[in-house]
Structure 1
Amino acid sequence: MDSVIVAACLPAIAISLKGGSLEIFWVGTSYLLAQTIVVPVYGTFSDIFGRKSVIIFATCLFLLGSILCGCAQNMAWLIGARAAQGLGGGGILTLAGVIISDMTTLRERPKFASFIAFAWAFGTNIGVPVGGAIGEFSSWRWIFWINIPVCVLGIIGLVFALHLHQEISSLRSKLARIDYLGMSIFIAATTLLLYGLTTGGTAHPWKSASVLAPLVLGIIGLGIFVVVEWRVVAAPMVPMRIFSNRSASASYFGAFVHGLVLWSFTYYLIIFFLGARGDALFKSSAETLPGSAPVALSAVFAGIWVSKTLHFQKLTWIAWILITLGTGLNALMKPNSGSGILYGLRVIAGIGGGFLFQVPLFAVQSHMSNKEDLGIATSMITFFRSTGQAFGVAIGGTVFQNEFDRFVARAVTQGSLTEDFVISGAQATGAYGIIEMFPKVVVEVYRYIYSDALRTVWHVTTGIAGAGLLASLVIKDASMDKGHQSSQGFREGKVEENIA
């Protein structure tokens, strides 16, 4: 939830802390950037140092970041605190799923994984309306302070209730297992790539060296990372064997596309209601719910379905068909569309998106041959989904801004707009209040410009979702009727001892 809740409160934060557009941009981006970069790092650290200690560390870091965010007195303070919050959030996001996998057999896992998928999907999709409500009716600081009691209770529960098997070895031997070279290359390359993606078209033009240089260096760095992990280090952070199975590789790609499409859907849908419909912030936030509410429920249904059938292939295909079809149907939305189009049709993509919070993980774990890879293989699903989210914002933003400028230029050429009322694509996501002060005829023109520009975003994301659908066709079915896969399973004896 914390990765999206801030978006609805950015105007209030800007006023309170006197932030400029670039600083406001980094308030949202710093969290996503930090969260994504550390996901595989937490996976490999938890393999070495144990899940419990690492997730407690991550939760404490997230708690500290939340407190610092809530107490921020200037924009630099808030941006740094958001980065710290993201470093902790990445660990929580990763290790919750890994620990569930540790504690359960493969046949039991879908039921328990449903809770994790529900929490992620629910938090992601209620973040915008909750943030909108807090931003409109209370202080923006509460979007951070509400994390404090949740984290405190979570830390207490982890300390006293989580008992997992852990390898007994010296600190020196554990430190010797860390892939320092691979980790350094990965963090540097991923940071550069995501920096270029997130700043392109927002903080800097896409053609500028400030964007192209980190993008190119990031791609080259990731290529070097693959070679190092494959050929150089003896104990790689990300063993390349986890990609050797085509079903697993297709599932990793599917997680990336899922993150891209669903995040773009979530991120830009509220812009339709703010810009094309001219609705207030809280109402616009609430209007996103028909598309987001089914996500959490269908994520739970997917777990129940797979736990009953112990197979996932057909559900994977159904999920991709639904999210592709539903994303395409977004293109029917216009400023004057009826409730059926504005709200009803969006349920389709929500159901498909919910299924896809679950099934890629099942495909990866059911085809996994080495139980020592459970932590990093599970973490990479989270990493690819989070990376897809960054791509979704970047691609959606580029398409939206370019199309907005194109439709504005067309309106000027046709005489519908004059130069006095021109809003650029770079300004469009924060210009709703300005546009509302224009003459009514100009406001009406801009509502259709927003709608038409977003329609192209839906077309592009539908094509990308179609690529995910095609990739899913190569995923082989496998039975989930298997036993335990992890070396860090739940210590039942400890529980019995505590009960006694």
Structure 2
Amino acid sequence: MVPFLLMSNRTGLSGFIQTFLNQIIMLATTYYLPVYFQACKDAGPIASGVDIFGLACTVAPLSLIAGATVTKSAQYRPQIWFGWALLMLGCGLLSSLDADSSRSKGIGYQVLVGSGLGIVYVATYFPVLAPLPVTENARALAFFVFLRNFAVVWGITIGGTILQNELRKNLPVEFASTFTESTQIAYAVIPQIPDLPQPLKDEVRRAFADSVRVIWQVLTGISGMGLLVSLAMKGLPLHTSTDQEWGMQERKGATHGDKVMKKTESSEVSIAVDSA
């Protein structure tokens, strides 16, 4: 059960929702950017992984910078608003990519997305914890991590559903009809694209670009939703103390249990000796 206290204020609730939305965007971009590069740029699995370095190499550094600035300024709202703005801009620019866009554009736009993801990824800790007493930190962070993990399912599922439905509409009818309804078209088609004859190859590449574009448009909307939700946060002071009693009850309970067991074992030994 989630304690009601965690959701009883708008700042904490806003932080939890933003955490969920940010993780959806992170997983969707991580999964479907390689799909774009493999389908539209003839990149192999390893090459498409290299092509998303713009995303992968910005998340961690910007997370560190965001955490440092929050610690220095004791403010978290400006960083979060800036992060969501970068996400909206980056996802919006990704939606402008087509089958013939340069690889440099695809990689450059990722830098904006990765920067926004990194900032929001770390900064949402603070609105979650700031309104609560420090004694609730463990429960709050447990729910925080649960939402991140739960959002993984949503990010992959939303992107996969969009891609499947859009490819059914955008692929040439004769080509799409060779696949059954239950087939995951994207992953069945991508290995065939380099060997397809022209003009079918270009038609399939354009179909993938148009289909993936819808994913980026949806993520742009989710980024806008995150920005709107972030406006509900209050600029609360950050805690400067820790819960000194955390874990003490468990340790005391364990110590008491050990003492009881030792007494029980001593009694059993005494009874055995008397019986002998």
TM-score w.r.t. structure 2 length? 0.83
Could you say which residue in structure 1 is the equivalent of 2:168? 405
Could you say which residue in structure 2 is the equivalent of 1:450? 208
Q: 1:307–1:400: structure 2 CA closer, same or farther, 3 Å change rule?
A: same
CA distance in 2, matches of 1:339, 1:473: 35
- Of 345, 352, 360, 2:124 maps to 360
- Of 240, 244, 258, 1:482 maps to 240
- Of 252, 273, 280, 2:37 maps to 273
Q: Structure 2 stretches of 5 or more lacking a match? A: 249-276
RMSD: 2.0
Secondary structure at the counterpart of residue 261 of structure 1: helix
Determine whether 1:373 maps to 2:127. Answer: no
Bigger Rg, structure 1 or 2: 2
Could you say which residue in structure 1 is the equivalent of 2:227? 469
CA distance in 2, matches of 1:453, 1:275: 11
Q: CA deviation at 1:386?
A: 1.6
Could you say which residue in structure 2 is the equivalent of 1:264? 28
Q: CA deviation at 1:486?
A: 5.2
Determine whether 1:317 maps to 2:81. Answer: yes
Asked if 1 retains the 8 angstrom alpha-carbon contact of 2:66 and 2:123, the reply is yes
Residues 329-380 of structure 1: CA distance to partner in whole angstroms, max 9, x if unpaired?
11122222124421112211111100111111111111113x3321110111
Residues 455-474 of structure 1: CA distance to partner in whole angstroms, max 9, x if unpaired?
01111111111111100001
Secondary structure at the counterpart of residue 236 of structure 2: coil
Determine whether 1:383 maps to 2:141. Answer: no
Q: CA deviation at 1:299?
A: 0.4
Q: 1:249–1:285: structure 2 CA closer, same or farther, 3 Å change rule?
A: same
Q: CA deviation at 1:475?
A: 0.5
Aligned residues: 246
Could you say which residue in structure 2 is the equivalent of 1:287? 51
Residues 10-41 of structure 1: CA distance to partner in whole angstroms, max 9, x if unpaired?
xxxxxxxxxxxxxxxxxxxxxxxxxxxxxxxx
CA distance in 1, matches of 2:245, 2:167: 53
Q: 1:373–1:393: structure 2 CA closer, same or farther, 3 Å change rule?
A: same
CA distance in 1, matches of 2:101, 2:76: 37
Give runs of ≥4 in structure 1 deviating > 4 Å: 419-425
Q: CA deviation at 1:311?
A: 1.1
CA distance in 1, matches of 2:179, 2:70: 49
Asked if 2 retains the 8 angstrom alpha-carbon contact of 1:366 and 1:480, the reply is yes
- Of 408, 427, 436, 2:194 maps to 436
Residues 123-154 of structure 1: CA distance to partner in whole angstroms, max 9, x if unpaired?
xxxxxxxxxxxxxxxxxxxxxxxxxxxxxxxx
Q: CA deviation at 1:429?
A: 2.1
TM-score w.r.t. structure 1 length? 0.47
Secondary structure at the counterpart of residue 332 of structure 1: coil
Within a 5 Å distance, the mapping from 1:207-218 to structure 2 comes to none
What amino acid maps onto 1:332 in structure 2?
S
CA distance in 2, matches of 1:391, 1:337: 28
Asked if 1 retains the 8 angstrom alpha-carbon contact of 2:88 and 2:224, the reply is yes
CA distance in 1, matches of 2:115, 2:53: 13
Q: Structure 1 stretches of 5 or more lacking a match? A: 1-236, 413-417, 491-500
Q: 1:400–1:306: structure 2 CA closer, same or farther, 3 Å change rule?
A: same
Asked if 1 retains the 8 angstrom alpha-carbon contact of 2:130 and 2:239, the reply is no
Q: CA deviation at 1:298?
A: 0.2
Q: CA deviation at 1:320?
A: 0.9
